[in-house]
């Protein structure tokens, strides 16, 4: 059995154990798990949006520099 297969089986085992534990937990515990998942999702979305914003900021800064350079070149030509 290769390392990938062992890793996959281990992952499946952990998943099955987590699922079994979840199924046998109280409603409060289930809600806590759902809250954790939702918080993680919110954080991921926020992180993704932050990255998008940063990328857009950088892109517009680059565009401004290009425009400035163009204007300077046109001024020096005229």
Q: What is the pLDDT of residues 21-67, one digit of tens each?
A: 989 999 999 999 999 999 999 999 999 999 999 999 999 999 999 99
Task: Give the span between the Cα atoms of 24 and 18, in whole angstroms.
Answer: 10
| Number of domains forming the structure of the chain | 1
Range(s) of the domain holding residue 56:
2-77
What letter does residue 77 receive in the DSSP assignment? Answer: H
Query: What confidence tier does 2 reach under pLDDT thresholds 50, 70, 90?
Result: confident
- CA dist 33 and 29 (Å) reads 6
- Cα separation of 35 and 10, whole Å? 26
């Amino acid at each position: 059995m290769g390392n990938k297969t062992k890793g996959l089986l281990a992952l499946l085992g952990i998943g099955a154990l987590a699922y079994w534990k979840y199924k046998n937990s109280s409603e409060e515990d289930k809600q806590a798990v759902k809250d954790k998942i939702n918080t993680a999702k919110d954080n991921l979305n926020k992180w993704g949006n932050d990255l998008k914003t940063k990328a857009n900021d950088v892109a517009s800064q680059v565009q401004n520099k290009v425009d400035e350079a163009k204007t300077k070149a046109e001024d020096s030509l005229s």
